[in-house]
Every structure is written in C-alpha cells, then in structure tokens.
Amino acid sequence: MLPVPSRRHQEISRDLFREMDKFLFGKSCNIYLAPFDVRLSEKSVQEKEITSVV
C-alpha cells in the first residue's frame, strides 16, 4: 500500500484544482479532484457495457 500524499502535495493539488475550476466555470466540461475512471467506447453504448477504463 502506498503512503498518503504529503501535506505539501495536498496543498499544490488544491491550488491547481482551484485555478482549473475557475478557468472551466460555466464551460461544458467538469473537473474532479478525486481519482476518476474514464470509460472509452468506439460507439454509443450503455455505461455498463464499456470495458475500456483508464
């Protein structure tokens, strides 16, 4: 198991998130702070049918 990120790492992550969130506010995309799966498909299918996840 990996150690938790340091306090400095958390501060930098927070500051970057804050700036990106301000930049993207009102635009048609979202930003997420926690790890998040991105599901890739070549055609329009139900989410549960997608097997390519990064």
What are 4-21's pLDDT values in tens digits?
889 999 999 999 999 999
- Counting the structural domains of the chain, the total is 1
The contacts of residue 5 (CB under 8 Å, 6+ apart) are 13
In a domain, 2, yes or no: no
pLDDT at 26 over 80: yes
Q: Considering only 14-18, 27-31, 32-36, which range has the smallest mean pLDDT? A: 32-36
Instruction: Give the global pTM.
Output: 0.60
Domain limits for position 37 = 7-53
In a domain, 13, yes or no: yes
**1 occurs within a structural domain:** no
Residue closest to 5 by CA, chosen among 34, 36, 32: 34
Q: What percent of the chain has pLDDT over 90?
A: 43
